[in-house]
Structure 1
Amino acid sequence: MSHNQPTSSGKPPKNKKLSIYNAVMAILLVPLMGATITLGVLSGVRLNQARDLTAQTKQIAAQTKATQTTNWCSSVRADNRADMGEIYNEYRTATDERRQAIDAECPNKVAIANLVSTYTAEDVFKFDQTCSLNDNKTAAHCTGSIEVLADKKPALSVYPSVSVTLVFTVTYDTAATQVGHTEPNAYTFTVPREGKADFEFDTAYDEKWGSYYKLYPDAFYPDE
């Protein structure tokens, strides 16, 4: 009578304790992997946010610079003639980057600011005039001519015309040390590109202001 011997598959028997350990580790690894993935995603989000903030900061800075440039160009106008020295000094003392931006946007404004802040009307024009009182001595009738000086013609001839404002002052003495009245905007007219112009106008007068007068160009501004 023969007996069959149990056969062996060649595989070692499973270790139940090891299997339990593997299962536990697998369970622990799942949230750990999830946490790792979450941290990775959050890092990526934060990096993108940082990039976005950097881009926004650069955009805001660029917009601010562009606005400053436009504002400077807009400030160079006839009604700001009295402040042109300060306006041009702002340009002159600006950074190279800002000056280059202004030069690119409004080179004509830079030239005007330089011209108006550097010279007075008396530096630019040759001026002849005469005034006489009317019969009842309530007004002065003034006539004259104005001409751009030769050395200033190249700078002014690039503009179609130049506006000039005359000041009429009445004084008690010939030295004009005792002023009785001043009309700061007695008359404004334009000098064409050719550089010569005549003028004629009337302005108020009162004997109590004095017996002497002075008429002179006080301000000018190139017309664009």
Structure 2
Amino acid sequence: MVKSIKSGRGYRDLTVKVKTARGRKLSSKLWLERQLNDPYVKRAQVEGYRGRAAFKILELDEKYRFLVPGARVVDLGCAPGGWCQVSVPRINALGEKSGKKVGTILGVDLQEVEPIPGAEIHVLDFMEDDADEKVKTWLGGKADVVMSDMAASSSGHKQTDHLRIMALCETAAYFAFDVLEEGGTFVAKVLAGGAEGDLQKLLKQKFKNVAHMKPPSSRADSSEKFVIATGFRG
């Protein structure tokens, strides 16, 4: 349980310590302790987001402004749905912004995701041969944005995990080439390391601008960052 004490600015949380229970590994204890003390986890709970990752896309969009009213957006590996939640009001998917274009957010994942008002969610393996055609059918055309916060399952081996996530990101990029409208944007999580150079070369051929950003909400001890490629050449 998180305890609070009153300070001059209101309430602040005390750091939560987790006891090492019988059968609980030290790594599990440290992970749980980090979750309980993570300010973004707490903010996500307060603001109704499904995970702390929602703040990553918020911060990326604050800088690069790709989630605009009327945009057609595809969220690859969308579970648990935080990025879709953020996208709905920004692209005006519910039509709540009078006089603004109404956008579409399409989330796809291998597993079922709880419904999100304003978002269209499908169970789909985006690596299937006809996945791009299905997505374009559901969107009613091509996408303005393809984004991905996907990460491959961890093996515990740093180099192997790096190669896995970069391979996943590269596959997502090729999917984006098939479904993006000219001028579109691709946003994806990558890991710092040597293999990202090949992906960057590929993206620079296909997009006018390619940048990297580590959002403030990304954990300081994480090697993750995000590639933002804008101006798809078609």
Q: TM-score range by the shorter chain?
A: under 0.3
Higher strand proportion: 1
Higher helix proportion: 1
Say which structure, 1 or 2, has more relative contact order (CA 8 Å, 6+ apart). 1
Give the TM-score normalised by structure 2: 0.25
Give the TM-score normalised by structure 1: 0.26
